[in-house]
Amino acid sequence: MEGKEEDVRLGANKYSERQPIGTAAQGSEDKDYKEPPPAPLFEPGELKSWSFYRAGIAEFMATFLFLYVTILTVMGYSGATSKCATVGIQGIAWSFGGMIFALVYCTAGISGGHINPAMTFGLFLARKLSLTRAVFYIIIMQCMGAICGAGVVKGFQQGLYMGNGGGANVVAPGYTKGSGLGAEIIGTFVLVYTVFSATDAKRNARDSHVPILAPLPIGFAVFLVHLATIPITGTSINPARSLGAAIIYNREHAWSDHWIFWVGPFIGAALAAVYHQVVIRAIPFKTKS
């Protein structure tokens, strides 16, 4: 009983805060989990592995399905004569968040379930995957999947698609380009930070259910960001999503702000990777007695 009373009395202050912080903490020997080694910068051997191409196919298919369902939802909202008869902005946000939840759940064990060049970029900065795989995912599989997904929507409903903006991301009237860029940076930060936290090796070691539930907070983060930023930029936080819609719609105004939907998400992803790796994740669970 004495030990238990001592625990209650000390509470959160039981363990000393005098412990290494920042990147220095990652070298600590007193850890309760096994730190995975950083991915090599270049991994030519991956190009000979079937699992490498299988992962790429999974990214292509997931991004294709993501664009197909979400752009169709946007078209249904934009083309309705009465907004009260549609899913509304909340329904669009649920469409994006729900698809990410489902697709991350389905593909996480194959490719990591990135479905987003900004997400891949952030994980690359954290040395979670090689440059070889990052380039393969971003330039080939994710972008091509997004283009094909938007293309199928246009093929099914060309008049509706071309008459309602094609789901392309633009900065809304009344907002500056700076506002749009800031919204994309912060929105992507929220998403990538959530992904890092939900898939942290330390949390996985302590709570076995964390990796199983990871798609839920990730999808919910996408939903919340869309609620906040749809009125500003239509919400991208995913350069492939913006690229696919812009290429298939291919109108001048869809390209005038397009740089925002690459620069913003990549900055947000980089900030989230640095914040999580250096500030949050670096503090170990255990301390030396």
Q: Does residue 2 have a pLDDT over 70?
A: no
CB atoms within 10 A of CB 10: 10
Taking the whole predicted model, whether its pTM rises above 0.95 is answered as no
C-alpha distances (whole Å) from 253 to each of 17, 105, 158, 195, 223 are 53, 35, 18, 32, 26
Contact (CB, 8 A) for 117 and 142: yes
SS3 163: helix
Contact (CB, 8 A) for 268 and 184: yes
Q: pLDDT tens across 105-150, in order?
A: 999 999 999 999 999 999 999 999 999 999 999 999 999 999 999 9
Read off the tokens for 81. 């004569």
Report residue 39: phi and psi, to 5°: -70, 145
Rounded Cα gap, residues 43 and 134, in angstroms? 11
Rounded Cα gap, residues 226 and 33, in angstroms? 35
Q: pLDDT tens across 61-111, in order?
A: 999 999 999 999 999 888 777 766 678 899 999 999 999 999 999 999 999
Confidence of residue 208 (pLDDT cuts 50, 70, 90): low
Read off the tokens for 184. 């994309």
Read off the tokens for 269. 């992803």
Say which DSSP state 239 is in: H
Buried residues in 171-210 as b, exposed as e (16+ CB within 10 A):
beeeeeeebbbbbbbbbbbbbbbbbbbbbbebbbeeeeeb
Per-residue pLDDT at 32: 59
Rounded Cα gap, residues 171 and 191, in angstroms? 20
CB atoms within 10 A of CB 284: 20
Q: pLDDT tens across 11-64, in order?
A: 444 444 444 444 444 444 445 567 778 888 888 888 889 999 999 999 999 999
Rounded Cα gap, residues 111 and 108, in angstroms? 6
CB atoms within 10 A of CB 67: 29
